[in-house]
Amino acid sequence: MKPEELVWSDIIYTASGLMDYLNAQDPDLVADDASNIERMDEVLEYYIVSPRLGLLLRENGEVVLSGVFDFEYIWGRRCTGQPIYQDAVIRKIAKSL
């Protein structure tokens, strides 16, 4: 699969504004386990992603939150300034599909 196809099919919506607001109110609401709490400062953007991509991102060491409101998986992207399909982790996952 091409990385661009993965982005179009499995990244549902940006959630950065919502997550920034929630983080400011109560960081414990957002981080769902100790490993995510320690890495939350590294997150620059948030995206609601499909269950398939959420699990694959988590397997590849990415910050992935579960059960924030009704969203099954929210990816905490730790880079910015380039298209998502150029992220190394997205390219790696796309190549494996």
User: What integer pLDDT is reported at residue 40 of this predicted model?
Assistant: 63
How many domains does the chain divide into? Answer: 1
96 occurs within a structural domain? no
Lowest mean pLDDT among 41-45, 66-70, 89-93: 66-70
95 occurs within a structural domain? no
- Domain ranges, residue 35: 3-89
Nearest residue to 84 via CA among 58, 48, 55: 48
26 occurs within a structural domain? yes
- pTM of model > 0.75: yes
94 occurs within a structural domain? no
Nearest residue to 48 via CA among 67, 21, 24, 29: 67
40 occurs within a structural domain? yes
| Confidence grade of residue 1 (pLDDT, cut at 50, 70, 90) | very high
| Confidence grade of residue 69 (pLDDT, cut at 50, 70, 90) | confident
59 occurs within a structural domain? yes
Percent above pLDDT 70 for the chain:
85
